[in-house]
Structure 1
Amino acid sequence: MDQSTAEPGIKSKIPDTFLILLILALVAFASTWLFSPGRFGLAPSGRIDPAAYSAAAHPKGAPIFGTEQQVGLLNFPFEGLVTGDRGSATVGLMAFILVIGGVFGVIMRTGAVDRALTALIGDPADAKSRPGELLILGLFVAFSLAGAVFGMSEEAIAISLIVTPVLVRSGYDSITGMLTCYVATQIGFSASWMNPFGLVIAQSISGLPALSGMGFRIVMWLVFTGAGLAYLWWYARRVRLTPTLSKAYASDSRWRDKASVGAVGRFGAGDAIILVLLLLTVAWVAWGVVAKGYYLAEIAAQFFALGLAAGVVGRLFKLGGVDSNDLVRAFSDGAAQLAPAALVVGVAKGIILMLGGDKPDQLSLLNALLHGMSGLTALLPTWATAWGMLGFQSAINLLIVSGSGQAALTMPLMAPLSDLSGVTRQTAVLAFQLGDGLTNIIAPTSAALMGCLAAGRLGFSTWLAFIWKPLAGLLVLAAAFVLVAQLIGYS
């Protein structure tokens, strides 16, 4: 079967993230009428006291139409969207996500990233300039770093449009392009020490300082990236020597039959300035968080400064032929691309509020669920509980691929559960980020994955048939790191 014709049928059967959230909301609403909420007492330290749990005598039952600050079935999205304050929680997170999306929309509109890649990979029609394994490995490291630093994901789609055709015409295949561009970003995302979209949000919800536990995560990123490099080198060399071994050999013929990629222009001084500004901003953010305690509001302002500077450079050097209006539209478009992720954060929070909220000392079904799960894990060793958290996060990520949304939905439960079961909160966050990132590689609900597959003209079923073994290896490695984290009391 032609993969290009099979894909729409596959994708049409996959529910949208918001549909999944609506189903979860209906389940949550029904649960409020079936089960009694509970509350925990708090120890002097502010942590949950497992011995001080009490449950309501009867189910409370959420209203259909909530009034007077009641959260019901029809108003849970609004209540979730407006909860919190500007510095944290839902409102702050949504604003943060939109600003970051707009900034990178401006950077991508200047074309600086595209021209930098074209300068690196050269002209594929010239055999002397064809990329070898070393350059491919270099791109893998760069994209893994981008995933770790700023959660690069959807941005890989545009890059795949450039890199994949070049690699195919240079003797590799579109799977090599997927490994280089997309899988690298997800490895970086999973093992990140500073990703603002997943890790920082999960740490905030769990009551941990931003970027805490950085040393362990940097080592983890090096190990995961090293493992990815080793596999990519082996696979790319194997396909280059024997192209017919590729599962994508037939579908890649459309790339091999074309003569050129299409010019994006020469890499110039303006492009170099923008890339330097990006690196300086990353260093500025790291310094601000570590030395000054910067959080969402300050980090958003730092990246907004980057967007302004990149826009000025793009206008002065006329990068991509942009004018001022183009840059403003690029900011709007970039924010619009991440608007669904921001909305997911709010809607997920609304579901939690309908269940009674995430405060341990207030009546909530989350507390009742937490108490029940703690009873189930009481007979398990702590390392088994940590592995269970990893498995839970990996499974739910197949349904909710938004890192920020998954953090908002699961960490209010996982963080206190870790207290009750003896797992450190930092280990619980580690299980979240590994589970949240790695299964993005096969999640058909991921817009970034489906977009990169479309950019490489690679069928989802072809990709799944190839990637399940490498993914299994990555999950085993993730389980090993979670085990080590728990054994050393990672905090």
Structure 2
Amino acid sequence: MEQAKKKFKMPSAYVIIFIVLIVVVVLTYFIPVSVRDPQTGDVVYNATFDADGQIVENAGPQPQGLWDVLMAPVEGFQRSSGVGIALLVVGGFLSVMTATGALEAGIGRLLKKLKGGMLIAIMNLAFALMGTVFGFWEEILPFSLVVIPMFVLAGYDVMTGIGVLFVGATVGNMAAVVNPFATGAAVGAIGDPNLTIGSGIVLRIVLFAIMYIISTVMLMRYGARVRKNPETSALAHIEGVKTSVDGEKKELPAMTPVRFASAIIFMVMVAILMIGYIPWESLGGEAAGNAVNAIGIGLSKVPILGDILGAGNATPLGDWGFNEFSVLFFAGALILMAINRMKIDDFIKNFLDGAKDLLGVVLILAIANGIAIVMGSSTQGMSVTLVYWISNGLAQVPLWIFAVVAVASYLLIGLALQSTSGVAGLSMPILSAVASALFATSAIGAVGGEIVLISSFTVGLNFMTLIYPGAVNLGTAEMYGVPYNSYLKFVLKYGVPMLVVSTVVIALAPYIGLVF
């Protein structure tokens, strides 16, 4: 009897990214290093800096070995510490928030109060906001136990609930306005001190608004058609479709005053986060910055209270980065503990459990930054050589084509790797250098090119996540007896228009003032 052939299993993100690190180290034996002349800004091919900062030509390759492979993640961890801490803190906050039951209670209250098309519009916005703030995706499975049965009870079909969950989350994930696991990871992997998670936030807000409008209008039309005539459902002639697990609707936690207060705290935090990252002075000058920060400026002048609060030391809204992100979510977790009267031991356990769940993402970022270190910086190393070769090939290409090609590239990358942080670590050190070089002499500059690249990354990769047969997609479809091909056909009707319009907006963004 012949032994059954083993099926190929895709390696984990950790294995893939470490293999890439080894490949990059091997390339150091073959690819010469180059430098960017600090005086002229031009690339000097096959050159390096000596101890005195002078350019030495004909330097050739600079091989690295086992020590460098092992040291790269360590140095990468140090380099990505700001991003890593932010990820651990937000993981802890979300775990504490989940323990309060406020998120599920809030969603349940919306489902009970809103009727008709407004139910779809509000729920689509809720999941889009969760996607754009913290990358809502794996949470779809547990949320589906509440959302899908409630949509069915409201007169819709199972596919309406699936659409609101998956399409809504994809709107947020593709825009990734302040998502630390996508935009934040990309910024961290690029490592440009002039680039923050707030850079390009206007472009990302525009993308969010456009995709939300497209998806909401289409979902409302579908829902209205199904309520009027169930035979028009995408699942009308499919047997075995289930409205809930074991035919029973999951009970929602009650919306108590404490849970309501917790939900308000979360919404206020999201608002503060958005305000903190919008570059107010760039948009409206010093007057706009002072107006937004009026409360903080006023508190800093109040005797004793201002000192106790540390108002004078707080980072102004509009200049926020990962440190402020961490502070906000840590403070939010402490407030949730206080108003929910959570025991300190329970709080610590919940917080650490949430942080522990994201430790793997932090490790991926560490290795990713190690790759960037081996590749070199924007001024010297193998990375400058690669930029030199690629930029020579793309020197005469219109800038808008770069955005289109970048989105297409991330669609292909998404077939092999679904981890946003992992993909950011693999691609950003190389493509960000290409983007910087291409856009350096344009009106938006090198940082503008990096902004275009980041939005291309979040749009392309997260569209592929929507259609990729992963655990969340397949698990949810199986749970409700929905054939995967029916799921795929349905979500493509919504995802493709969002992808096309978003790509066009990103390509035109440098020309219409959306990148700054």
TM-score after normalising by structure 2: 0.78
Q: Which amino acid aligns with 1:36?
A: I
For the pair 1:54 / 2:46, whether they are aligned, the reply is yes
Q: Which amino acid aligns with 1:341?
A: V
What is the alpha-carbon distance in structure 1 between the residues aligned to residue 28 and residue 320 of structure 2? 38
Query: Is contact 2:174-2:460 (8 Å) kept?
Result: yes
Query: Is contact 1:107-1:310 (8 Å) kept?
Result: yes
Query: Is contact 1:453-1:460 (8 Å) kept?
Result: yes
What is the alpha-carbon distance in structure 1 between the residues aligned to residue 123 and residue 273 of structure 2? 23
What is the alpha-carbon distance in structure 1 between the residues aligned to residue 89 and residue 196 of structure 2? 22
The SS at the match of 1:40 is strand
Per the TM alignment, residue 116 of structure 1 is displaced from its structure 2 partner at its CA by: 1.7
The SS at the match of 2:327 is helix
Counterpart for residue 255 of structure 1: 243
Q: Which amino acid aligns with 2:35?
A: F
Aligned CA distance change for structure 1 residues 91 and 413 (closer, same or farther; 3 Å): same
Aligned CA distance change for structure 1 residues 104 and 111 (closer, same or farther; 3 Å): same
For the pair 1:357 / 2:336, whether they are aligned, the reply is no
What is the alpha-carbon distance in structure 2 between the residues aligned to residue 80 and residue 257 of structure 1? 43
Q: Which amino acid aligns with 1:271?
A: R
Counterpart for residue 216 of structure 1: 203
The percentage of aligned residue pairs carrying the same residue is 26
For the pair 1:242 / 2:230, whether they are aligned, the reply is yes
What is the alpha-carbon distance in structure 1 between the residues aligned to residue 352 and residue 31 of structure 2? 45
Counterpart for residue 366 of structure 2: 346
Deviations along 1:307-326, one digit per CA (max 9) or x if unpaired, are 1211232336xxxxxx5544
Counterpart for residue 189 of structure 1: 173
Aligned CA distance change for structure 1 residues 251 and 27 (closer, same or farther; 3 Å): farther
Query: Is contact 2:75-2:370 (8 Å) kept?
Result: no
Q: Which amino acid aligns with 1:138?
A: I
Counterpart for residue 438 of structure 2: 421
Query: Is contact 2:91-2:358 (8 Å) kept?
Result: yes
Deviations along 1:285-331, one digit per CA (max 9) or x if unpaired, are 34444534232222212101111211232336xxxxxx554443322
Aligned CA distance change for structure 1 residues 253 and 170 (closer, same or farther; 3 Å): farther
Counterpart for residue 424 of structure 2: 407
Aligned CA distance change for structure 1 residues 79 and 29 (closer, same or farther; 3 Å): closer
Per the TM alignment, residue 457 of structure 1 is displaced from its structure 2 partner at its CA by: 5.2
What is the alpha-carbon distance in structure 1 between the residues aligned to residue 10 and residue 236 of structure 2? 23
Per the TM alignment, residue 250 of structure 1 is displaced from its structure 2 partner at its CA by: 3.6
Per the TM alignment, residue 351 of structure 1 is displaced from its structure 2 partner at its CA by: 3.1
Per the TM alignment, residue 344 of structure 1 is displaced from its structure 2 partner at its CA by: 1.6
Counterpart for residue 291 of structure 2: none
Query: Is contact 1:107-1:311 (8 Å) kept?
Result: no
Query: Is contact 1:81-1:91 (8 Å) kept?
Result: no
Q: Which amino acid aligns with 2:201?
A: M
Counterpart for residue 31 of structure 2: 36
For the pair 1:120 / 2:110, whether they are aligned, the reply is yes
Counterpart for residue 433 of structure 1: 458
For the pair 1:379 / 2:372, whether they are aligned, the reply is no
What is the alpha-carbon distance in structure 2 between the residues aligned to residue 20 and residue 467 of structure 1? 29
For the pair 1:331 / 2:318, whether they are aligned, the reply is no
For the pair 1:390 / 2:407, whether they are aligned, the reply is yes
What is the alpha-carbon distance in structure 2 between the residues aligned to residue 286 and residue 38 of structure 1? 41
The SS at the match of 1:435 is helix
Per the TM alignment, residue 456 of structure 1 is displaced from its structure 2 partner at its CA by: 4.7
Query: Is contact 1:169-1:255 (8 Å) kept?
Result: no
Query: Is contact 1:200-1:211 (8 Å) kept?
Result: no
What is the alpha-carbon distance in structure 2 between the residues aligned to residue 455 and residue 116 of structure 1? 24
Counterpart for residue 186 of structure 2: 202
The SS at the match of 1:253 is coil
Aligned CA distance change for structure 1 residues 454 and 23 (closer, same or farther; 3 Å): farther
What is the alpha-carbon distance in structure 2 between the residues aligned to residue 116 and residue 179 of structure 1? 20
Query: Is contact 1:147-1:153 (8 Å) kept?
Result: yes
Aligned CA distance change for structure 1 residues 335 and 451 (closer, same or farther; 3 Å): farther
Counterpart for residue 133 of structure 2: 149
Unaligned runs of 5+ in 1: 1-10, 123-128, 317-322
Per the TM alignment, residue 169 of structure 1 is displaced from its structure 2 partner at its CA by: 4.7
Aligned CA distance change for structure 1 residues 108 and 458 (closer, same or farther; 3 Å): farther
Aligned length: 451
Query: Is contact 2:91-2:354 (8 Å) kept?
Result: yes
Single out whichever of 257-266 and 276-285 deviates more from structure 2. Answer: 257-266
Within the candidate set 449, 467, 474, 2:491 is matched to 467
Aligned CA distance change for structure 1 residues 259 and 155 (closer, same or farther; 3 Å): closer
Deviations along 1:437-476, one digit per CA (max 9) or x if unpaired, are 322212345x554555466554544433433343222221
What is the alpha-carbon distance in structure 1 between the residues aligned to residue 200 and residue 245 of structure 2? 49
What is the alpha-carbon distance in structure 2 between the residues aligned to residue 131 and residue 258 of structure 1? 26
Query: Is contact 1:115-1:264 (8 Å) kept?
Result: yes
Per the TM alignment, residue 213 of structure 1 is displaced from its structure 2 partner at its CA by: 3.3
What is the alpha-carbon distance in structure 2 between the residues aligned to residue 82 and residue 96 of structure 1? 18
Counterpart for residue 294 of structure 2: none
Counterpart for residue 300 of structure 1: 326
The SS at the match of 1:254 is coil
Deviations along 1:128-167, one digit per CA (max 9) or x if unpaired, are x895332022100111122223333333332222112322
Q: Which amino acid aligns with 1:109?
A: A
What is the alpha-carbon distance in structure 2 between the residues aligned to residue 297 and residue 282 of structure 1? 16
What is the alpha-carbon distance in structure 1 between the residues aligned to residue 492 and residue 242 of structure 2? 25
What is the alpha-carbon distance in structure 1 between the residues aligned to residue 123 and residue 211 of structure 2? 15
Q: Which amino acid aligns with 2:369?
A: K
What is the alpha-carbon distance in structure 1 between the residues aligned to residue 434 and residue 252 of structure 2? 51
Query: Is contact 1:177-1:456 (8 Å) kept?
Result: no
Counterpart for residue 4 of structure 2: none
Counterpart for residue 512 of structure 2: 488
Query: Is contact 1:140-1:181 (8 Å) kept?
Result: yes
Q: Which amino acid aligns with 1:389?
A: A
Within the candidate set 227, 235, 240, 2:214 is matched to 227
Unaligned runs of 5+ in 2: 1-6, 48-57, 280-315, 443-447
Q: Which amino acid aligns with 1:274?
A: S
Once superposed, what is the RMSD of the aligned Cα atoms?
A: 3.2
